[in-house]
Structure 1
Amino acid sequence: MTVVDATAPGHHGQLEKLARRGTASVLGAACSAVFGVLVVVIVTNGFDPTVAGTLFAATSVFLILEAVAVLGTDTGLVKWLPTLLATGRGVDVRRTLVVATVPVLLTSVATGVVLHLVAGTLAPVIVGDDAAATGQAMLRALAVVLPVATLHALLLAATRGMGTMRPTVVVENVGRFGLQALAVLAVLLLDGGSTALALAWGLPYLPGLVVTAVWLHRLVRRASPPATAGAVPEAWSTLARAFWAYTAPRALARVVQAGLKRSDVVMVAALASPAAAALYTAATRFVVLGQLFVQAVQQALSPQLSSLFAKRETRAADSVFQAATQWSMLAAWPLYLVMAGFAPTLMLVFGEGYDVASDVVVILSLTMLLATACGPVDSVLLMSGRSWLSLANNAGALALNVGLNLALIPLLGIRGAAISWSVAIVVRNLLPLVQVRRQLGMSPLTRSSLLVALTAVACFGVIGVVGLVLDPSTVVACALIGLGVAAYGASTWSLRDRLGLAAFRSTLRTRQSRTAAVPR
């Protein structure tokens, strides 16, 4: 196995760039994680389990349809815009945005109309006859918001493609998620109905879309200075063919990925009950906490990988890939080990009776240890132009997930859904891991990442086993976790040079310089 030293001087600039973008992205992900859990806590504690489960099933359908309507352009723009900028073709940015946006706008409107029309037929299928009226009202309310949410996702991806994570952090992770939590809380306090609850969840996309559109306009104008005004842009047909040749398979893959993330909630509601879907959704919220961190690093990494591949700097790409993996493990592994060890205690936050879903937390948390160790490997495939391979991997994982859900949910309930999703996660990560190694000669596995894994297990694995066996009180659990954090912090500090953490100093210097530049 060829290992690129992620701390090599020649790659240090790339690591600092990843650290700057990744820090902002991770801070935003932390905010969205807190707000996301808060929404679930409000819904599970404030509403009947059937209403809560119906909302989670309806919003899962909504997010799957959003993935359909966005047509893969979120990934296409993150791949394409950095390539245009890196190769001196900034003059083609505006036309590329039009080529991406027009089909998405038409598709999202059509999808919203169809959802509104079929809501009465779809609701009994996904939530049963007893909750059909509630499900129908929620689906129709969300259908109105669908085009707005789809365009919001597209424009946010375009801002990342233009080289900045700030709109994603400020507008999406803090703004939209924060407004969503406040709106849901307002519906609870005002004793609103199911339609109001669905609208409270969906309407924050609207101000997000407006702010993101203004922000993107400024970024694009800045990327096309007057000095390049006389440059000749590529023909519309040439741009469209090139963009959609890459993006078309990604459109299918996005649907598949959304299915992997959300279909299990819908299937639990349909094959078990909306109340079971509420239990399952609450349990998976903790797993999503770690996923959000990994996705944040992936969002920061993808435009950088695209630019490096466009310049044929494969070794630098391998360096940032390995650094992103070990930094993701550094933060996510302790979180997953703690969640696995103290699942019953953590589930109490969602209300009485939700601790019965703690087995789901344990199963998925242990599975995510493997997924995190594989790193953002799907991003490497995508940014290297292998969108068809990514599609095949995700489609295989989805087919396996759906098949296992159909077999296991009737037998094991929400635990069957957790097992199915775990198997799909393993397949979805191991397949691209092998492909990236064979086709690109790249691998996330290094001695440093192994060191991170061993340190995390030593500091948190032992106390996790104690938590599982003894089921300690909340006070004792907090004390044990605090002990693990102290040991882990000391170990990480002693290994900071080997882990390339010096790259984060540039982030601190940048913030300090900005602070110093502000007039007092």
Structure 2
Amino acid sequence: MSEASQALQKIARGTGIVFAGTVISMFFGFLSRAVIARYFSTAEYGVFNLVLTVLNIALVIATLGFQNALPREVAFYREREPSRVWDLVSTALVIVAVNSVIWTAVLFAFSGSISRLFGDERLVRALRIVVFALPFWALTGVIISVSRGFGRVREQVYFQNIVYPTLFMAFVVIGAFLGLPFAFVFGAYVVAQALTLLALTFDVWKKGIFKPGISLNSKLGKELVRFSIPLMLTGIAGFVMTWTDTLMLGYYLGSEVVGLYNAAAPIARLLPIFLNSAGLIFPPLATVLYAHGKVEELKRVYQILTKWIFLATFPLFALIFLFPEVTISFFFGAKYLSAAPVLQILALGFMFHTFLGLNGWSLIVIRDSNFIMYSTLISAGINVVLNVLLIPHYGIEGAAVATTVSYFVTNVLNSLRLYRKIRIHPFGRSYVKSLIIGFVLLGLVLGLHLRVSSIWYAVPILVVFVGAYLLLVLLSRSIDEEDVELLLVIEKKLGVDLKVVKKIVERFV
């Protein structure tokens, strides 16, 4: 078995675990949002989204980009200089702890100015409560990033994907049931983050992942910060790209419109679920291949992985794009139906982000973080300009167009850079055939102008659509040897006999 196949199987096993955790996290996250959206007013739901947007931006600054840098750096040092790994980890934790406390104080002090920017006094109290979650959230993220550098996904799944969203959802439901005021939501957020960090710290200490004591290394700290700062700026620009629509809608049109828009946005952000799950496993394994100069194997991993991600994502995209009204109504209720066009537009942007694969993570693997910063800053700038031009005239649809265009630009730039640097691209022959079949079939179904009134009518149509798509993929011989090897891994993992499926698949390799 080739090294590419071995890497793909490790990624597939890890991605399956992360995906399960992500689904659980999204389920409880959606449930929490749905309770807040239904129990409180549209304007209060808008305030909740604005506050979390500010906190997310602060998180990127507080962590200095370490969450993206550490999986690569820990994996690299484990391969080349194992004795320096704990120095790297300990230094990173101290830097983030100090920086996050500083930014907590800054946000608390300037909460009044931030609220005046959006013209909503309710933001003051909300921000002054929720900022205390920042140090807990930042340290949790760094510890989990370190564990990913060790090739572990357990901490990510258990604590970030299960413990935190479950706690927050439980607190929100209890608060709604008891009729507690809106401010309780933000207090619940802080407590959930604090308890998650406490449980995670106890667990990694018990497992012996971290050593006792603090070991600071200024040289390693400077190297890490130098590598991470472009990733921090990338993260800020990424949040600008993702959340400028929310912030500018709040500035131009008010909290109620923000609440309406954020019925569509979280659903569209479900689309990169498989991409993001694979992205948590990909960097350490890809770093090992790259460190040994095995670029051809890395290219093969990239192409096959991108095809798997697209095939897994396409059914969800089809549901959202073909039936946006019933999708929004199912999750958030009929009062958000006017956001259906927004959902379709955003779905196109996030699907394009998915179909080009892990281009950003691959650039991190080859230590080209500066270019990621430049491409994301360019896209964020385009996003801001388009939002300024489009929101006053087209409202929430204009904001969605701005976000979609920015995702298109950053992914094209990153993919071109990756190809120029190491000649890696996602477009293997089997993948191209899968793309053509998928979008031609989608166009045909759109041409039928189907109208359904409930998600339960949409699902059977989707099942037929996906069945036809998979059949055409098989008939077009868009199956690779690595796909069969993955099927064998799944068979072994599940402990079931997939003899019939294997025979069918092997006939079309």
Q: Distance in 1 between matches of 2:53 and 2:72?
A: 27
Q: Distance in 1 between matches of 2:247 and 2:134?
A: 18
Aligned residue in 2 for 1:231? none
Alignment check: 8 A CA contact 2:87 2:217 kept: yes
Q: Distance in 2 between matches of 1:493 and 1:164?
A: 34
Aligned residue in 2 for 1:178? 166
Alignment check: 8 A CA contact 1:16 1:504 kept: no
Q: CA deviation at 1:218?
A: 5.5
Q: Distance in 2 between matches of 1:440 and 1:357?
A: 42
Task: Evaluate the alpha carbon distance shift between residue 275 and residue 235 of structure 1 in structure 2; reply closer, same or farther with a 3 A threshold.
Answer: closer
Aligned residue in 1 for 2:67? 74
Q: CA deviation at 1:263?
A: 2.6
Alignment counterpart, residue 193 of structure 1, candidates 168, 171, 181: 181
SS at match of 1:290: coil
Q: Distance in 2 between matches of 1:163 and 1:465?
A: 46
SS at match of 1:163: coil
Task: Evaluate the alpha carbon distance shift between residue 152 and residue 440 of structure 1 in structure 2; reply closer, same or farther with a 3 A threshold.
Answer: same
Alignment counterpart, residue 283 of structure 1, candidates 248, 264, 268: 264
TM-score normalised by L of structure 1? 0.89
The 10-residue stretch of structure 1 (152-161 or 488-497) with the greater mean CA deviation from structure 2: 488-497
The reply to whether residue 296 of structure 1 matches residue 277 of structure 2 is yes
Once the two structures are superposed, residues 271-309 of structure 1 have per-residue CA deviations (whole angstroms, 9 ceiling, x without a partner) of: 111111111111011111112321111111122112222
Aligned residue in 2 for 1:345? 326
Aligned residue in 1 for 2:135? 147
Q: CA deviation at 1:210?
A: 2.1
AA partner of residue 197 (structure 1): V
Q: Distance in 2 between matches of 1:151 and 1:310?
A: 28
SS at match of 1:204: helix
Q: Distance in 2 between matches of 1:12 and 1:185?
A: 45
Alignment counterpart, residue 77 of structure 2, candidates 68, 74, 84: 84
SS at match of 1:442: coil
Aligned residue in 2 for 1:259? 240
Matched residue pairs, number?
A: 489
Task: Output the aligned Cα RMSD.
Answer: 2.3
Aligned residue in 1 for 2:202? 214
Task: Evaluate the alpha carbon distance shift between residue 493 and residue 184 of structure 1 in structure 2; reply closer, same or farther with a 3 A threshold.
Answer: farther
The reply to whether residue 327 of structure 1 matches residue 308 of structure 2 is yes
Aligned residue in 1 for 2:23? 30
Aligned residue in 1 for 2:501? none
AA partner of residue 380 (structure 2): L
Aligned residue in 2 for 1:48? 41
Aligned residue in 1 for 2:255? 274
Task: Evaluate the alpha carbon distance shift between residue 492 and residue 177 of structure 1 in structure 2; reply closer, same or farther with a 3 A threshold.
Answer: farther
Q: Distance in 2 between matches of 1:313 and 1:103?
A: 34
AA partner of residue 398 (structure 1): A
Task: Evaluate the alpha carbon distance shift between residue 54 and residue 425 of structure 1 in structure 2; reply closer, same or farther with a 3 A threshold.
Answer: same
Q: Distance in 1 between matches of 2:192 and 2:437?
A: 41
Alignment counterpart, residue 109 of structure 2, candidates 105, 117, 121: 117
Alignment check: 8 A CA contact 1:33 1:288 kept: no
Alignment check: 8 A CA contact 1:334 1:460 kept: no
Aligned residue in 2 for 1:473? 453
Alignment counterpart, residue 421 of structure 2, candidates 433, 436, 439: 439
AA partner of residue 372 (structure 1): T
Aligned residue in 2 for 1:409? 391
Aligned residue in 1 for 2:226? 245
The 10-residue stretch of structure 1 (212-221 or 33-42) with the greater mean CA deviation from structure 2: 212-221
Task: Evaluate the alpha carbon distance shift between residue 96 and residue 217 of structure 1 in structure 2; reply closer, same or farther with a 3 A threshold.
Answer: farther
Task: Evaluate the alpha carbon distance shift between residue 303 and residue 322 of structure 1 in structure 2; reply closer, same or farther with a 3 A threshold.
Answer: same
Q: Distance in 1 between matches of 2:334 and 2:453?
A: 16
Q: CA deviation at 1:508?
A: 4.9
What are the ranges of 5 or more consecutive residues in structure 1 without an aligned counterpart?
1-7, 225-233, 514-520
AA partner of residue 150 (structure 2): M
Alignment check: 8 A CA contact 1:74 1:157 kept: yes
SS at match of 1:472: coil
Q: CA deviation at 1:121?
A: 2.1
Once the two structures are superposed, residues 490-509 of structure 1 have per-residue CA deviations (whole angstroms, 9 ceiling, x without a partner) of: 55677684273332533553
Q: Distance in 2 between matches of 1:380 and 1:326?
A: 16
Task: Evaluate the alpha carbon distance shift between residue 389 and residue 99 of structure 1 in structure 2; reply closer, same or farther with a 3 A threshold.
Answer: same
Once the two structures are superposed, residues 41-98 of structure 1 have per-residue CA deviations (whole angstroms, 9 ceiling, x without a partner) of: 21221110011111111111111111111101111211111111122x2221111012
The reply to whether residue 62 of structure 1 matches residue 55 of structure 2 is yes
SS at match of 1:203: helix
Q: Distance in 2 between matches of 1:263 and 1:111?
A: 21
SS at match of 2:375: helix
Once the two structures are superposed, residues 462-514 of structure 1 have per-residue CA deviations (whole angstroms, 9 ceiling, x without a partner) of: 33454xx343222432321122233345556776842733325335534659x
SS at match of 2:271: helix
Alignment check: 8 A CA contact 1:93 1:220 kept: no
Aligned residue in 2 for 1:167? 155
Aligned residue in 1 for 2:98? 106
AA partner of residue 297 (structure 1): A
Alignment check: 8 A CA contact 1:26 1:293 kept: yes
Once the two structures are superposed, residues 301-329 of structure 1 have per-residue CA deviations (whole angstroms, 9 ceiling, x without a partner) of: 12211222222221222122112211110
Aligned residue in 2 for 1:485? 466
Q: CA deviation at 1:269?
A: 1.2
Q: Distance in 2 between matches of 1:290 and 1:329?
A: 10
Identity among equivalent positions (%) equals 22
Alignment check: 8 A CA contact 2:271 2:351 kept: no
Q: Distance in 2 between matches of 1:243 and 1:214?
A: 26
What are the ranges of 5 or more consecutive residues in structure 2 without an aligned counterpart?
497-509
Q: CA deviation at 1:171?
A: 1.1
Aligned residue in 1 for 2:410? 428
The 10-residue stretch of structure 1 (117-126 or 69-78) with the greater mean CA deviation from structure 2: 117-126
Task: Evaluate the alpha carbon distance shift between residue 316 and residue 276 of structure 1 in structure 2; reply closer, same or farther with a 3 A threshold.
Answer: same
Aligned residue in 2 for 1:389? 371
Alignment check: 8 A CA contact 1:159 1:219 kept: no
Q: CA deviation at 1:268?
A: 1.1
AA partner of residue 289 (structure 1): L
The reply to whether residue 503 of structure 1 matches residue 503 of structure 2 is no
Q: Distance in 1 between matches of 2:187 and 2:316?
A: 32
Once the two structures are superposed, residues 78-137 of structure 1 have per-residue CA deviations (whole angstroms, 9 ceiling, x without a partner) of: 1111111122x22211110122122211111111111111112211322x2xx41x2111
